[in-house]
């Protein structure tokens, strides 16, 4: 099969021919139909998030078709079933986190496209227990961004409680999905982009944001919550300053540059800062049930498998709105 393989930090992914992987017990062989490109992939390529055992095939927003192994594992996963493979690829099921509904924090968790070969390839294998059903109303390309941008974004949104005014710092793949969910839930979204990025600000308004501006601007009303999607620690004090008392800043990414020192007064009055790590299978099932009800529509730019490095470059440079999806 054809695959894009990570070998070394700072090097582009290498196009290679590889044998089709063989599923082990409880695993499915999956033909990849589409795979989204995530900012986490940039962090992996850049070495900000470590890949313990390279070489590795990245890609963790997989939509695929079950080729073999499904019937024995679970009902509905027969050959030909369309499924999604998310970032959470395996947990031990026995630690205190797994046993308390927080498998996203399992210290032995294995992640797709980091610890397990992922979806920038024609085929992959995945533990059937971590695969998710893809809503029938979505095309392969349209469904792919839901698998991480949607799922982990949904977890970040949950951390905002019932906040009605929510700021999004960075309006990329996650925010463009969540803006639609928020509008449907009756919440108001305030979109913060790179200063002067009119294209993205227009895109945010198109998706229902009540206000869009630069990341250092003050919103017209104080926010009850803010989610920071951009991996930029200096946004944290800006987001804190935009919050009403009691508000929360949620950092949604796996990596962020250092957060600068800030005066205690902008945290005072029960404001909070927290991160969101990974996802649980419950997050996945809830979000994939919710998406077709809204219905969330994703904007995607598609790339051939061989062009995965261009997709990563375009993501880094902010050259598209919405999400990038590899179609092998
Ligand atoms: Zn991701
Ligand atoms: Zn565990």
Could you read off the pLDDT of 128-151 as tens digits, one per residue? Answer: 999 999 999 999 999 999 999 999
pLDDT at residue 131, rounded to an integer: 95
Percent of the chain at pLDDT > 70 equals 98
Domain ranges across the chain: 2-148+279-327, 160-275
Q: What is the pLDDT of residues 225-279, one digit of tens each?
A: 999 999 999 999 999 999 999 999 999 999 999 999 999 999 999 999 999 999 9
Least distant ligand from the CA of 315: 1
What pLDDT is stored for residue 78 in this prediction? 72
| Mean pLDDT in residue range 272-293 | 97
pLDDT grade for 77, boundaries at 50, 70 and 90: confident
- Is beta strand 88-90 parallel, antiparallel or unpaired with respect to 56-57? unpaired
Ligand 1 centroid, distance to 98 Cα (angstroms): 21
The architecture of the domain spanning 160-275 is 3-Layer(aba) Sandwich (3.40)
Q: Which of 300, 292, 325 is nearest to 310 (CA)?
A: 325
Q: What is the pLDDT of residue 72?
A: 66
Ligand with minimal distance to 118 CA: 1
Spatial CB neighbours of 128, under 8 Å, sequence gap ≥ 6: 26, 27, 28, 69, 70, 73, 74, 77
Cα 100 to ligand 2 centre (Å):
9
How close is the Cα of 22 to the center of ligand 2, in Å? 26
Ligand 2 geometric centre to CA of 170 (Å): 31
Distance 154 CA to ligand 1 centre (A): 12
Exposed, middle or buried: residue 218 (CB in 10 Å: 0-12, 13-18, 19+)?
exposed
Strand order in the sheet with 14-17: 14-17, 2-6, 56-57
Greatest CA separation found in the chain?
58
Q: Which ligand is the nearest neighbour of the Cα of 253?
A: 1
pLDDT at residue number 73: 67
Q: Is pLDDT above 70 for 71?
A: no
Q: Which ligand is nearest to the CA of 102?
A: 2
Q: How far is the CA of 254 from the centre of ligand 1 (A)?
A: 9
Q: What is the CATH number of domain 2-148+279-327?
A: 3.90.180.10
- φ, ψ at 117 (rounded to 5°): -60, 140
Note the pLDDT of residue 69. 65
- Give dist(CA 149, CA 36) in Å, integer: 9
**299 CA to centre of ligand 1 in angstroms:** 16
For the cut 70, the answer to whether the pLDDT of residue 70 exceeds it is no
pLDDT for position 149: 93
The mean pLDDT value of the chain amounts to 96
Centre of ligand 2 to C-alpha 92, Å, is 4
Q: How far is the CA of 45 from the centre of ligand 1 (A)?
A: 13
Q: Which one of the ligands is nearest to 255 CA?
A: 1
Q: Which tokens belong to 248?
A: 């929360």
- Ligand lying closest to the C-alpha of residue 110: 2
For residue 103, pLDDT over 70 is answered with yes
What is the distance in A from the centroid of ligand 2 to the CA of 168? 31
Average pLDDT over residues 16-40: 95
Mean pLDDT of 206-222: 97
pLDDT tens digit sequence for 159-209: 999 999 999 999 999 999 999 999 999 999 999 999 999 999 999 999 999
Nearest ligand for residue 174 CA: 1
């Amino acid at each position: 099969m054809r695959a894009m393989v990570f070998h070394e930090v700072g090097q582009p992914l290498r196009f290679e021919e590889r044998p089709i992987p063989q599923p082990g017990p409880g695993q499915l062989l999956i033909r990849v139909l589409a795979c989204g490109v995530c900012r986490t992939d940039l962090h992996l390529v850049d070495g900000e998030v470590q890949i313990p055992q390279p070489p590795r095939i990245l890609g963790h927003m997989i939509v695929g078709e079950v080729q073999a192994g499904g019937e024995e594992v679970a009902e509905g996963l027969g050959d030909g079933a369309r499924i999604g493979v998310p970032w959470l690829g395996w947990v031990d099921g026995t630690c205190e986190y797994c046993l308390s509904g927080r498998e996203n924090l399992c210290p032995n968790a294995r992640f797709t496209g980091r610890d397990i070969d992922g979806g920038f390839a024609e085929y992959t294998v995945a533990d059937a227990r971590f695969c998710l059903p893809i809503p029938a109303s979505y095309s392969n390309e349209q469904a792919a961004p839901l698998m991480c941008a949607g799922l982990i974004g949904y977890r970040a949104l949950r951390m905002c409680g019932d906040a009605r005014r929510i700021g999004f710092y960075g309006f990329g793949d996650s925010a463009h999905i969540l803006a639609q969910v928020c509008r449907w839930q009756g919440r108001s979204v305030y979109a913060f982009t790179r200063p002067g990025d009119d294209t993205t600000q227009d895109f945010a308004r198109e998706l229902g944001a009540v206000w869009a501006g630069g990341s250092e601007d003050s919103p017209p009303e104080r926010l009850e919550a803010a989610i920071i999607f951009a991996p930029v620690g200096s946004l944290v004090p800006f987001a804190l300053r935009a919050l009403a008392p009691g508000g929360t800043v949620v950092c949604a990414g796996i990596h962020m540059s250092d957060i600068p020192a800030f005066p205690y007064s902008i945290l005072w009055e029960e404001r909070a800062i927290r991160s969101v790590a990974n996802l649980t299978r419950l997050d996945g099932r809830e979000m994939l049930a919710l998406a077709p009800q809204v219905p969330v529509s994703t904007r995607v730019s598609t790339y051939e498998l061989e062009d995965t490095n261009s997709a990563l470059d375009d993501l880094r440079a902010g050259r598209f709105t919405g999400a990038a999806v590899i179609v092998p």
